[in-house]
Amino acid sequence: MNHIIFYSLYNLGLQSAAVAKFFVFCAGTLPYIVILATAGYLGYKKIFPPKIFLVYVIAFGAWVLAGLIKLLIHAPRPFVLLSDVTNLIPESGYAFPSGHATFFMAFAVAVFLLEKKAGYVLMAAAVLIGIARVVVGVHFPGDVLGGFALGALFAYSAHHIVYTLTEHFFPPHEAHGGHH
């Protein structure tokens, strides 16, 4: 099933040069635009800067964890495993889980927990980036889905842990003269 879905998406990129260029852009350049635009948007929305920083730390932490898992699993990329597949962007290393899918879903969930609308937009961007990574031949769908699950779980867990610890060590003060 992973190969059937892979070939369906991969063949989409072979339809025309324009379609291939679109997916190469989504797999390679769009991620950087998303990272920078999100920082600007969250700043514009006046989100507390340490919370913005935490979003990036969470996403980076998820990406590091994905890299460690790749070293344990050693899953080959489609262009390595399948002789009829050519990668449209340069990529190396192991495939599962997708580091891009992990990073961008963790990023989206971390933002969602602060700002719902932006989180939904970023989830859509993560899905587009993930699909593009399959279309350009550097990931199987399972790599991307595994990355999405890892990223979402990591972001939700990290967010919960950080805010639980924050409330424990820095309890909110009562607004009108609490007990001392």
* Residues with a known catalytic role: 100, 139
Instruction: Please give the Cα distance from 22 to 16 (Å, whole number).
Output: 10
Locus of tokens 């920078």: 36
Instruction: Please give the Cα distance from 43 to 49 (Å, whole number).
Output: 7
Q: Could you tell me the two tokens for 136?
A: 């350009």
Instruction: Please give the Cα distance from 32 to 34 (Å, whole number).
Output: 5
HSE-up of residue 79 (Cα within 13 Å, Cβ side)? 16
Instruction: Please give the Cα distance from 157 to 167 (Å, whole number).
Output: 15
Helix (H, G, I), strand (E, B) or coil at 45: coil
